[in-house]
A and B are shown apart, each in its own frame.
Chain A
Amino acid sequence: MTHWVMVIDLDKCTGCQTCTVACKVENALGPTIQRVRVLANEIGEFPDVKRIYIPRRCMNCEDPQCTDVCPSGATFKRDDGIVAINQDECIGCRYCIMACPYNARTFHAVEQSYHDTPSEWEEKRYPEHTVGVVDKCDFCCSRIDKGLENGQKPGIDQDATPFCVFSCIADAIHFGDLDNENSNVSQLIKEREGFRLLEAMGTDPSVYYLPRRY
């Protein structure tokens, strides 16, 4: 079995938002739609101030609460661990948005583009996220599927890897198969004792974070 996970190194993340922008470019998302959000917080008092960045996207949980509450079955879990949305079946009730503990989902309420008329790329990708449906990170599953068809390896070959992963300028994001003990993600999680957000909620997320060492 395959279990795709993402590993984010908090030592390296600089909060540059390249992953956020890369995701918007790849998926042709409108101005107010974000699949990736880099959460930032400052702690301490001058001069002893630290800034923490947590890139947050859909955790593609192993026990997702969103799939249970979805009344139409539009949100579903694939065999490879990715939680996907069938935009043709979503009715836009937004119960999944309420149920997600990570605030990872967004509702497309209005038609929007960055310019007066949509670009060619925006028009091409629009049918995948029309007005009135919910959107979220799906680990660029279309890239993964196409890459696998072409014999490529997700996490290693760029064309088969989520766009944000190889866009990261700090090489802070890694992607691979957790079920493969020898994969880079498995080894990173083991060596650096990767943790997950809100583990106590029992969602079993597929996004791991490598803790800061300093």
Chain B
Amino acid sequence: MKRVKINSLLDLPLDGVTYQTEWTGHSRQGKRSMLLEIALLAGNFGPGLFIISYFTKWDVGLLLGFLIVAIGYGIPHLVFLGKIGRFWRAILKPRSSWISKGFIFASMFMLFGFLAVADQLPIAADLFAFVVPYIDYILILAVISALLLAIYPGFLFAVIRAIPFWNSGAVVPLFLFQAIGAGIGLTFIFSEFTTMTLTNPDLLVPLNIVMIALIGIAIGIIIKSGKAKSGSAGTASVKQLVHGKFRFLFIIGAVVIGILVPMIIMVMSYIFIDQSILLAIAGVMQIIGIISFKYTFLNAGAYNRLFTLRSMSHNPKV
């Protein structure tokens, strides 16, 4: 039993909020897994790479983006379910549940994405040769579904009113910016370390600068809105990130490595240094930053306290 010393008996302190544990695998039965964290990242990186590869006309990037989603997003989600055999039921309530909507978006992307990259797959190329005349339309549909797939997790978190830290309007755009930023970062990495030729660097560098800036602004808004919900779990969540056990991962990982250093590199690259290795380094840092943020974001989600003494007694002298 935790002893607390407070000035007023009427308001209990902020300590003792409950952090969400189910989606980070710290369930009451002690089964730890990183399945959802992996799925969350793959559901961000894969669509992002797919979208950027479409505009840079990099076919292998399309394939990689699709495979990241198929393997890194789909399989962990399935394994995470308590009843894998009933997975198809997840589509039954698209009007109200963002999991149902996400299932639809993911299915759309798996279909159109597969058709878009089928010509690159050894067996499928011949079987799906019939789609070649329609490839432009299929690619557009695949990009749209990739966009929806990248965005929907933001809604998934933002609609949970029970966790004030997640219940912010900036979460949805943040997921989009991170997806695009990750796509650009991965493109820089692959262009440096593979035979891929980077097309449109004049477009990607300033776009990445904008994305990094928007990511920083969105994270700042989420932190500010979390703190603003004073007396609630939002403040506790922010404290965990800035002062608590996640401070190293958040400040160093998500902010410094993920935003500040890549921003400096991008600006320098844009203005006067034309070195592709720097772009790749910035890309690696962006990826590290997104991983750090998603991990801390997921783990820092806290529920409101259920009661204060004020709500329990009519006697102000209690």
List A residues at the B interface (Cβ < 8 Å): 10, 32, 39-45, 50, 52, 54, 56, 65, 67-74, 89-95, 97-103, 106-110, 112, 131-134, 193, 195, 197-198, 201, 209, 211-214
Looking at B16, B159, B307, the one whose CB has the most chain A CB atoms below 10 A away is B307
Hey, which chain A residues are within 8 Å of B29, CB to CB?
32, 107-110, 112
B313 touches A211 (CB 8 A): yes
Hey, which chain B residues are within 8 Å of A32, CB to CB?
28-29
A71 touches B4 (CB 8 A): no
Complexed CA–CA distance, A39 and B306 (Å): 10
Tell me the dominant secondary structure on chain B's binding face.
Answer: loop
Hey, which chain A residues are within 8 Å of B313, CB to CB?
211-213
Complexed CA–CA distance, A154 and B29 (Å): 34
Besides the known contacts A41-B16, A107-B28, A201-B304, 14 further A-B residue pairs in the complex with CB atoms under 8 A apart: A39-B306, A43-B309, A71-B99, A91-B81, A91-B89, A97-B22, A98-B163, A103-B18, A109-B27, A109-B82, A197-B311, A211-B313, A212-B313, A212-B315
A211 touches B314 (CB 8 A): yes
Hey, which chain B residues are within 8 Å of A93, CB to CB?
80-82, 90, 99
A44-B9, A198-B304 in contact; A212/B100 too (CB < 8 A)? no
Nearest to A89 among chain B residues (CB) is: B89
Cβ contact of A71, chosen from B2, B97, B304, B311, cutoff 8 A: B97
B90 touches A71 (CB 8 A): yes
Hey, which chain A residues are within 8 Å of B103, CB to CB?
71
A92 touches B314 (CB 8 A): no
B312 touches A99 (CB 8 A): no
B270 adjacent to chain A (CB < 8 Å)? no
Cβ contact of B83, chosen from A90, A198, A212, cutoff 8 A: A90
B91 adjacent to chain A (CB < 8 Å)? yes
Q: In residues 1-17 of chain B, which contact A (Cβ within 8 Å)? A: 1-6, 9, 12, 16
A95 touches B31 (CB 8 A): no
B297 adjacent to chain A (CB < 8 Å)? no
A43 touches B12 (CB 8 A): yes
A52-B309, A69-B96, A91-B82 in contact; A101/B304 too (CB < 8 A)? yes
Hey, which chain B residues are within 8 Å of A74, CB to CB?
89
B312 touches A109 (CB 8 A): no
* Distance between A77 CB and nearest chain B CB, rounded to angstroms: 12
A69 touches B98 (CB 8 A): yes
Looking at A71, A72, A214, the one whose CB has the most chain B CB atoms below 10 A away is A71
Nearest to B97 among chain A residues (CB) is: A71
Cβ contact of B162, chosen from A70, A195, A197, A201, cutoff 8 A: A201
Hey, which chain A residues are within 8 Å of B304, CB to CB?
101, 198, 201
* Distance between A47 CB and nearest chain B CB, rounded to angstroms: 13
* Distance between A156 CB and nearest chain B CB, rounded to angstroms: 28
A73 touches B82 (CB 8 A): no
Hey, which chain A residues are within 8 Å of B2, CB to CB?
41-42
B162 touches A71 (CB 8 A): no
* Distance between B302 CB and nearest chain A CB, rounded to angstroms: 11
